[in-house]
Amino acid sequence: MKILVGIILGVSLFFLSVISFTVVWYILAVFALMFFVYNFSFNRAHLHSESLLQSEDSKRSVPVVSLVVLIVSVVFILFQGNIYQSLSSGLFQIPF
């Protein structure tokens, strides 16, 4: 079930990156930040199978999925537009 949810999340982030609607990226970043802070602050279990990173005291686990979504949304907010056009015109010189 976790794999299916991960695939759906990846596909939805891909289609959101193709559409590149900036307001949705801001909303997604805010919700990802809220989930990250909430899960990191109030989740005090020792080990979780869904989290690969552990903090120093090993009493808190880092919520990896919300952190990845937050990083992806911040990257798309910083590019301010279609990232595929930015990559093709600036970095790789590939015509689309």
Domain ranges of the chain: 2-91
Cα–Cα distance for residue pair 84/88, rounded to 1 Å:
6
The whole-angstrom separation of Cα 92 and Cα 7 is 28
Closest CA to 76 of 31, 14, 5, 7: 14
Q: Which long-range contacts (CB under 8 A, 24 or more apart) does 38-47 make?
A: 39/63, 39/66
Residue 78: pLDDT band with limits 50, 70, 90: confident
At 29 the pLDDT is 94
What is the model's pLDDT at position 41? Answer: 85
Check: CB of residue 9 under 8 Å from CB of residue 69.
yes
- The alpha-helical segments, DSSP class H, found in the chain are 2-19, 22-42, 64-79, 83-86
Determine the average pLDDT of the residues in 62-79: 89
Highest mean pLDDT: which of 8-12, 40-44, 77-81? 8-12
Residues 15-63: tens digit of each pLDDT: 888 887 889 999 999 999 999 999 888 875 444 445 556 555 555 678 8
Q: What is the pLDDT of residue 17?
A: 84
